[in-house]
Amino acid sequence: MLKSWLHRIQKETDRPATESDLIPSSQQDSLNIRLDGRGLVIQCSGQLSRELSPAPAVAGRTLGDYLLAPAPLLQETPSAWSNQCLDLCFKRKNGQPLYTRGWLTQADAGWRLTLTDITDIVGKVSFYERKAQLLTYTMRIAEAMRSSRQLPELTRELLEGLALRLRIPCIAIALEDGNDGWSLYQHYCLPGTTPHWWDEYKIGPRLSKLDYSGPVLLSLDTASNASERLWAIPYRAQNRICAWLLCAGYHAAQEAPYLNSEEWTHIGAQITAPLLHRLQEQQHDQEVARYNALQQLQNVGWWEYDPQLELFHIAPHLLRTLALPATEAVSLSRWLELLAPADRGEFRIRLTEASAGKSFSQHVRLQIDGELRWYRLDMQAQIREQAPCLVGTLLDIQDLKQQQTEAQTANTRLESLVDSAPAIIYVQHYVEGALKPVFFSASLYSVLGWLPEQVQQESMAAFVHPDDRDTFYQCTHTLLTEGVASCRYRIRDKQHDYHWMLDEARLLRDQWGQPIEVVGLCIDITDATIATERLRDSEERYRVLVEDSPAMICRYRPDLTLTFANALLTRYLRVTQEQTQGVSLALYLSAEQLSAFRERLSTLTPLNPIANAEICLHLPDREPLWVVWAERGIFDDKGILCEVQAVGRDNSEVYKARLQLYQSTKMAMIGEMATTLAHEMNQPLNVMRIALVNLLRRMETQACSPEYIKNKLERIESQIVRASRIIEHMRIFGRRSALEKYPFDPQKAIEGALSLTRDTLEQSGIELTIKVVPLPQVCGHLDQLEQVLINLLVNARDALLQYKSQQPTLNPQVIISANCHDHSVQLQVEDNGGGIAPHQLPEIFEPFFTTKPAGQGTGLGLSVSHGIIQQMQGTLSVENTGKGALFTIVIPAEPQPTTTMLAKT
């Protein structure tokens, strides 16, 4: 029917236009347009000219100005498109298209275009084309439904295609939900529409009351939108509605006037009929698969026996399990071969009885791949076509049999374990408000030395230690009121010794809540109790040791939050033991100390869990506390740091002594350079004196010009600035070092050391060479690094002067070099003074060791310098180069590089 209908539509759309379609009549509107030779409009007439936009008869307009879409043919002159049938689409004033057809004929001094309105014909052809496309699409829907496996997704795609073709805002398929109601199987809504109309307007219950054979227009009757309509197309099968195709917010008569009710019903059937068929197929396949899966999961299958043919028919999966051919029946003789010999006789007798109409059940063993496996065989007689037939099930009970065997073995083991374990199982009956012992396990004798009948003759309380009887009675009271109880008490054995027992019992009640009996377990915990007491004593000793320790002991998380602190640390922090929890050590550390703390913790690993450092705590209302800090990381099973245990010792006095030593050495160094400093101060004074003398002489001769006076005064001022700079540097150098380390540019230390030693080196005839590149910052004290460099330069000067006295031809040299290597700064001071005796190199940094003549050195300079560099986490080393000694300083670099450049001299 559909194919014949599509053929009829195609014939109507392909029919050529006749003369009656093209020539205006009294019933058809016409349009006459006069054109000049260039194709410009001269005049428009006819009934259709009133509807054109823009208004006709305007000079200078072309025919294309009136068309809705451009026509390539009109780009040429009218003579080129005469004698042709022209189809033109004009613009109406209301914006709608005006389809026309006509011819161009030559008139006086121009052309005449006669056109007829064919809008209705074009509309009908368009309707027929839409209808043909739509019905072709619905035929493809049925074919796609039959072959697709992804049914919900395909249904949604098909609904989307139908909604786009018919311009339906929201389309859905409703199916029966099994409870005399309807539910949406799948839906599609165009973007911008609301998809909640199903639940919001309660369409499901309304559909249950409808019984139509064709489409129906339903009103949604909502308070918010009373004009909303629902176009519902039912699908009927077996004299009832099986599905609905629903189009919400859709006016079928306006949007698809080319479809009648019969065609709408056909469209709905093309979608819902194959969908229901596929859903039924899927449901059937699921039920079969579920049945087969359940049989395989339960290791059970059906089987039949034909007594006349003596053949067994068995479920396919059982045939595979039994290693039998999958397509053949099993003969009685073959079946008996599968049975274990011990089960064959009983099976023959029961099979004979079952043929007479008696059902039976038997546990048998079947031989599968050389092994025996237990099955339960159930059989029942039936009559089929006047012939007896035996049907039944075969259930794999191998696991059940194995579990029974294991349970029996476990029960035997449990009884043996209970009898020999240090635990006593007992049962007490509740009789007239009292508990009477009726059962004790055999372990009673092995634990306490009593026989069950000896304990049953007396009350259990008679065996309890007198000091624990109140506990025993309270436990019994708790048991009777709450149903469970647990307590510890001492009980006497046959040797009159007492054992600590853990008694856990439960009261059992009947269905009316009345007590029946008590089941309990007594475990001998004597050893555990003694061990607990010892552990408690050990913990007390450890607590006293930690709390009274002269060292600070604490534990903290990786974020430095304290979890424990002993009494000494809490006194330092001015907090109580309770307030320690949650206090962060970061509150007592400077920014530099905190950064170093976190960097140090990041280096802890399970293989290297220990770290040592010297930290400074800024405590409230007291001086900073310097502490020698030892940390040990505690890690979880994944190697992640969970907590840190630390021990600290007050090192403030040592730190102050070290600073005093550094300061004393610094002042001694200033004393050694006193002559040099005096010379440095004397030079600017001599320059100023000479400048003043020259100025006074000029003034006496009255030959002193203002420019001359200005030059002399400026020179005097520069010398004053030079002297002030020397005094200021000496004042800063002689000041005590800062309390904590800080980042600084090491080149400034080189410049400061040279400002105090350059002149004395030059006066001694020593050639000074400086090789310095831009260096990153280091962390420490600028004045202390400067002190180290001054000490190395002074030692180099003394060594060169001593060596020159032995080698008069020597050209003494000192080379200062600085570079960056492997994230560290390397400073070197090298001389050509002959070097250090090899046997003295290991002792060169020892305190009070010196290579200078007696009375010319304290032996502390290199020792203090070595300690200063160590405090900066660096190293100071010495080696002989063949010409002299080379001292190397290596200090870790800070991450921020500097760009300062020291000029080479």
For 667-715, what is each residue's pLDDT tens digit?
A: 655 555 555 555 556 566 766 776 777 677 677 776 667 777 777 777 6
Q: What are the distances in angstroms from CA 116 to CA 25, 69, 90, 838?
A: 9, 18, 12, 124
Mean pLDDT calculated for residue range 357-370: 84
Q: Assign domain 126-286 one CATH number from 3.30.450.40, 1.10.3210.10, 3.90.1150.10, 3.40.50.300.
A: 3.30.450.40
Tell me the HSE value of 54 on the side-chain side, using a 13 A CA sphere. 10
d(CA 217, CA 250): 9
Give the pairing type, strands 110-117 and 170-176: unpaired
DSSP 8-state assignment for residue 513 = S
- pLDDT band for position 722 (50/70/90)? low
The per-residue pLDDT for 22 is 38
For 740-762, what is each residue's pLDDT tens digit?
A: 677 888 888 888 788 777 877 88
CB-CB neighbours of 321 under 10 Å? 19
CB 850 within 8 Å of CB 843: no
- Average pLDDT across the chain, whole number: 78
Instruction: Give me the amino acid identity at 406.
Output: E
Domain with CATH 3.30.450.40 in the chain: 126-286
Domain with CATH 3.30.450.20 in the chain: 18-117, 299-399, 407-530, 549-650
Q: Assign domain 407-530 one CATH number from 3.40.630.30, 3.30.70.580, 3.30.450.20, 3.40.50.720.
A: 3.30.450.20
For residue 285, pLDDT beyond 50: yes
For 68-100, what is each residue's pLDDT tens digit?
A: 877 777 777 787 777 778 888 888 887 788 888
For residue 541, pLDDT beyond 70: yes
Higher pLDDT: 17 or 880? It is 880
The per-residue pLDDT for 467 is 92
Which class would CATH give 299-399? alpha beta
For 181-201, what is each residue's pLDDT tens digit?
A: 788 888 888 887 665 666 655
Mean pLDDT calculated for residue range 329-338: 85
Q: What are the distances in angstroms from CA 452 to CA 463, 466, 508, 534?
A: 13, 22, 22, 34
d(CA 11, CA 5): 10
Higher pLDDT: 783 or 482? It is 482
- pLDDT band for position 660 (50/70/90)? low
Q: Which fold has domain 549-650?
A: Beta-Lactamase (3.30.450)
For residue 349, pLDDT beyond 80: yes
d(CA 564, CA 556): 7
Min mean pLDDT across 1-5, 215-219, 350-354, 414-418 is at 1-5
Contact residues for 37 (Cβ-Cβ < 8 A; gap 6+): 77, 78, 79, 109, 110, 111
Give the pairing type, strands 813-820 and 767-772: parallel
Mean pLDDT calculated for residue range 200-216: 74
Higher pLDDT: 292 or 456? It is 456
The per-residue pLDDT for 18 is 40
The per-residue pLDDT for 888 is 92
Measured between alpha carbons, how far apart are the two ends of the chain, in Å?
Answer: 110
Which class would CATH give 742-905? alpha beta
The per-residue pLDDT for 195 is 58
The per-residue pLDDT for 56 is 60
- Whether a cis peptide bond, with omega within 30° of 0, leads into 54 is yes
Domain with CATH 3.30.565.10 in the chain: 742-905
- pLDDT band for position 330 (50/70/90)? confident
CB 47 within 8 Å of CB 61: no
398's enclosing H/E stretch is helix 398-420
Q: What are the distances in angstroms from CA 427 to CA 181, 490, 516, 527?
A: 59, 19, 11, 25
Instruction: Give me the amino acid identity at 60.
Output: G
Closest CA to 616 of 590, 580, 598, 596: 590
CB 825 within 8 Å of CB 775: yes
Lookup result for tokens 């619905």: 138
Instruction: Give me the amino acid identity at 599.
Output: E
Contact residues for 770 (Cβ-Cβ < 8 A; gap 6+): 750, 754, 815, 816, 817, 902, 904, 905
Q: Assign domain 18-117 one CATH number from 3.60.15.10, 3.10.450.50, 3.30.450.20, 2.60.40.1190.
A: 3.30.450.20
- pLDDT band for position 361 (50/70/90)? confident
How distant is the alpha carbon of residue 186 from its chain centre? 35
Q: % helix / strand / coil in the chain, to the nearest 5? A: 45, 30, 25
Tell me the HSE value of 254 on the side-chain side, using a 13 A CA sphere. 8
Q: Is 583 helix (H, G, I), strand (E, B) or coil?
A: coil
d(CA 589, CA 564): 18
Burial of 376: CB neighbours in 10 Å, binned 0-12, 13-18, 19+: middle
What is the rounded (10 degree) CA torsion for 576, 582, 583, 589?
160
The per-residue pLDDT for 299 is 64
Q: What are the φ and ψ backbone dihedral angles of 583, each rounded to 5 degrees?
A: -75, 135
Burial of 480: CB neighbours in 10 Å, binned 0-12, 13-18, 19+: middle
d(CA 115, CA 88): 9
Within 807-902, residue ranges assigned H as helices are: 861-871
For 172-182, what is each residue's pLDDT tens digit?
A: 888 887 777 78
For 859-876, what is each residue's pLDDT tens digit?
A: 566 777 777 888 788 899
Mean pLDDT calculated for residue range 98-121: 83
**Helix and strand totals (H; E) in the chain:** 24, 33
Q: What is the full DSSP assignment across 262-321?
A: HHHHHHHHHHHHHHHHHHHHHHHHHHHHHHHHHHHHTTEEEEEEETTTTEEEE-HHHHHH
Tell me, letter by letter, the H, E, C secondary structure of 667-730: HHHHHHCHHHHHHHHHHHHHHHHHHHHHHHHHHHHCCCCHHHHHHHHHHHHHHHHHHHHHHHHH
For residue 820, pLDDT beyond 70: yes
